[in-house]
């Protein structure tokens, strides 16, 4: 095993696994890895994880919109266990599930330890911090098995499009790419894929000995899958990379159709837009044929609720609210995500339609009519924007911040078509941050008619 690798991260590693780490770390075009990480799974946990993934791939999705008023067994167990074991949820439960009070990010931010079940072991607990746009940074409790379960739902997302990962010993399974001033980078292996390689990379030139090493390294590794966010994936597309992965997974940020379609052409492979959050992991994947996000977790109860926490009917837009999940150290109970969508059924398959972060925002046209931010998102879909945010000032003027090299005249014309000839300031930026509030307005409602 390479001297720079902590053996505690790779219990039971084989000579082939050690050779893979050696290759990833000491490759002639390798980056300067800033950190160390590994699966940290015990031998008995590998079989458990394999069984968990197999089950997750075939289970049907439980939903309040298809359950005919019945609460599934996993949710009844969650309610009983959290009432008995989680300090924040102690006390009598209402008769009806819909009467249970909702929780939100601010609750977890105040003291996340009150939401961790008391009987669970803490010896191998992993805590990581996540920033937020709401003023509520979080500490998320996790465990090696929990981190490993992410791949179950990434595989389910891939399977939805007929893609089956098959990287094996001696090959590289996944490259996770970032594009930041500084980010966590490491080399690892996946014990469920015969110790196939895994790397977390930063495309920032400062992390490499030579800028050309970025594409040379990735071309030689030829990872089966590449994951990232719209910003890092567009940075990847700018490199003279020849490798064509089996699929690309985009997480963390909303991906517009124009960006997705460009990346599919550039890399000649499917690009999956996965709706994910640190508190719950991968929640849904966008299906272009359905025009919405298909749910991924069989034991995550997804409701669309109004401001009072009442379940909304199909087709009505509200806040996405979660119960259950795959992290026993952070069981969610009617957890408001701060993201908004409407629920539709395709057959018996629940699909999130018009997904967007933060509450709906209305914008006033120069003619005095309201339009919803969803209409703006749809109108901007075909532009190759990696990120954007729109603000309407109290006087009606507009400020549109964008990340992406696009036709600014065409963008201005589209915005004028939507909102009229308000003063419009378009600002191009290298990035807007990992989490942004996409739509805001200070416009006074009384000056605009419906």
Output the six-digit token pair for 161: 């499009």
Q: Is residue 385 part of a domain?
A: yes
CA distances from 243 to 135, 220, 229, 246, 364 (A): 40, 8, 18, 10, 46
Co-location of 66 and 150 in the same domain: yes
> What is the predicted pLDDT for the residue at 448?
58
Mean pLDDT of the 372-384 span: 82
Cβ-based neighbours of 417, under 8 Å, separated by 6 or more = 379
Rounded CA separation 357/359 (Å): 7
Per DSSP, the three-state class of 248 is strand
Tell me if 447 is assigned to some domain: no
Angle between helices 144-160 and 43-58 (to 10 degrees): 30
Q: Are residues 190 and 253 in the same domain?
A: yes
Instruction: Name which of 111-120, 171-180, 359-368 the model is least confident about.
Output: 359-368
pLDDT above 60: residue 132: no
The token pair that represents 424 in the structure block: 């419009």
- In this predicted structure, the answer to whether residue 374 has a pLDDT above a threshold of 90 is no
Please report, for the domain that includes residue 397, its CATH number.
3.30.300
Which of 15-24, 195-204, 294-303, 430-439 comes out lowest in average pLDDT? Answer: 430-439
Residue 109's contacts (CB-CB under 8 Å, 6 or more residues apart) are 132, 136, 137, 138
Predicted pLDDT at 131:
55
pLDDT of residue 146: 94
Domain boundary, last residue among 203, 235, 269: 269
Contact between 437 and 358 (Cβ < 8 Å): yes
Burial of 15 (0-12, 13-18, 19+ CB in 10 A): exposed
pLDDT > 70: what percent of the chain?
A: 94
The answer to whether 34 and 134 have CB atoms below 8 angstroms apart is no
Q: Which of 191, 176, 165 is nearest to 18 (CA)?
A: 191
Q: Please indicate, yes or no, if residue 307 is contained in any of the structural domains.
A: yes
Longest dimension (CA), the chain: 71
Q: What is the pLDDT of residues 267-326, one digit of tens each?
A: 999 999 999 999 999 999 999 999 999 999 999 999 999 999 999 999 999 999 999 999
Are 324 and 404 found together in one domain? no
Parallel, antiparallel or unpaired: strands 172-178 and 225-228: parallel
pLDDT at 7: 76
CATH number at residue 131: 3.40.50.12780
Among 311, 327, 358, residue at a domain's last position: 358
Does residue 241 share a domain with residue 231? yes
**Residue where a domain stops, chosen among 340, 358, 376:** 358
Query: Per the structure, how many domains does the chain have?
Result: 3
With respect to residue 45, please indicate whether it lies within any of the assigned structural domains. no
Q: Within this chain, do residues 94 and 171 fall inside the same structural domain, yes or no?
A: no
Q: Which of 176, 168, 159, 223 has its CA nearest to residue 193? A: 168
Structural domain contains residue 185:
yes
What residues pair up with 391 in beta bridges, in sequence order? 399, 440
Of the pLDDT bands very low, low, confident and very high (cuts 50, 70, 90), residue 9 is confident
Residues 313 and 407 in one domain: no
More confident residue, 90 or 128: 90
Find where tokens 């709706």 sit: 275
Q: In the structure encoding, which two tokens stand for residue 131, read together?
A: 């920033």
pLDDT in tens, 394-450: 999 999 999 988 999 999 999 999 999 999 999 999 888 656 778 889 987 655 554
Q: Specify if 46 maps to a domain.
A: no
- 70 with 157, same domain: the answer is yes
User: Ranked by mean pLDDT, which of 123-137, 262-276, 352-366 comes out on top?
Assistant: 262-276
CATH code for the domain in which residue 179 is found: 3.40.50
Question: DSSP letter string over 251-283?
Answer: -SS---HHHHHHHHHHHTS-EEEEEEETTTEEE
- List the structure tokens of 180: 């930041």
Same domain, 301 and 155: yes
Instruction: Give the rounded distance of the alpha carbon of 34 from its chain centre.
Output: 23
User: Could you list the residue range(s) of the whole structural domain that residue 437 is in?
Assistant: 362-441
Are 123 and 33 contained in the same domain?
no
- On the question of pLDDT at 74 being above 90, the answer is yes
Q: What is the pLDDT of residue 289?
A: 95
Residue 20's H or E segment, with its range, is helix 15-26
Residue 256 and residue 168 share a domain: yes
Averaged pLDDT score across all residues of the chain: 90
DSSP 66: T
Please indicate, yes or no, whether residues 171 and 251 belong to a single structural domain of this protein: yes
Angle between helices 230-237 and 257-267 (to 10 degrees): 40
Indicate if 170 and 265 belong to the same structural domain: yes
pLDDT band at 129 (very low <50, low <70, confident <90, very high): confident
Tell me which residue has tokens 């109970």: 333
Q: With respect to residue 50, please indicate whether it lies within any of the assigned structural domains.
A: no
Q: At 337, give phi and psi (nearest 5°).
A: -85, -20
At residue 136 the predicted structure's pLDDT band, cuts being 50, 70 and 90, is: low
| CB neighbour class for 44 (10 Å; exposed up to 12, middle 13-18, buried from 19) | exposed
DSSP assigned state of 229: -
Residue 287 falls within a domain, yes or no? no
């Amino acid at each position: 095993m390479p001297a720079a690798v902590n053996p505690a991260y790779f219990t039971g590693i084989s000579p082939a696994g050690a050779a893979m780490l050696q290759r990833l770390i000491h490759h002639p075009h390798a980056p300067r890895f800033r950190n160390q990480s590994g699966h940290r799974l015990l031998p008995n946990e590998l079989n458990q994880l394999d069984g968990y993934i197999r089950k997750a791939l075939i289970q049907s999705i439980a939903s309040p919109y298809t359950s005919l008023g019945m609460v599934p067994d996993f949710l009844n167990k969650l309610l009983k266990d959290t009432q008995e074991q989680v300090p924040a949820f102690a006390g009598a439960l209402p008769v009806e599930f819909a009467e249970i009070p909702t929780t939100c990010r601010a609750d977890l931010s105040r003291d996340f330890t009150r939401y961790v079940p008391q009987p669970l072991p803490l010896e191998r607990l992993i805590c990581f911090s996540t920033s937020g746009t709401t003023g509520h940074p979080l500490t998320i409790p996790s465990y090696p098995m929990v981190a490993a379960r992410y791949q179950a739902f990434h595989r389910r997302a891939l399977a939805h499009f007929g893609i089956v990962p098959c990287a094996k010993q001696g090959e590289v399974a996944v490259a996770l790419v970032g594009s930041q001033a500084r980010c966590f980078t490491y080399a690892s292996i996946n014990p469920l894929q015969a110790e196939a390689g895994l790397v977390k990379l930063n495309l920032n030139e400062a992390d490499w000995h030579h800028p050309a090493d970025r594409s040379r390294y990735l071309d030689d590794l030829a990872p089966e899958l590449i994951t990232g966010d719209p910003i890092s994936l567009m940075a990847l597309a700018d490199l003279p990379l020849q490798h064509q992965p089996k699929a690309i997974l985009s997480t963390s940020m909303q991906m517009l159709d124009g960006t997705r379609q460009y990346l599919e052409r550039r890399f000649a492979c499917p690009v999956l837009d996965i709706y994910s959050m640190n508190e719950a992991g991968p929640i849904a994947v966008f299906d272009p044929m359905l025009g919405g996000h298909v749910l991924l977790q069989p034991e995550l109860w997804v409701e669309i609720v109004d401001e009072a926490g009442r379940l909304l009917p199909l087709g009505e837009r509200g806040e996405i609210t979660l119960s259950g999940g795959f992290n026993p150290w952070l069981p969610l109970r009617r957890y408001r995500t701060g993201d908004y969508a409407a629920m539709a059924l395709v057959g018996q398959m629940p699909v999130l339609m018009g997904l967007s972060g933060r509450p709906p925002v209305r914008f006033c046209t120069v003619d005095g009519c309201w339009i919803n931010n969803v209409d703006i998102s749809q109108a901007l879909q075909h532009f190759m924007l990696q990120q954007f945010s729109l603000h309407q000032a109290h006087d009606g003027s507009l400020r549109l911040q964008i990340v992406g090299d696009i036709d600014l005249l065409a963008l201005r014309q589209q915005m004028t078509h939507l909102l009229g000839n308000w003063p419009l300031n378009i600002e191009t930026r290298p990035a807007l941050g990992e989490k942004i509030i996409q739509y805001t307005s200070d416009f006074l409602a009384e000056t605009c008619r419906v």
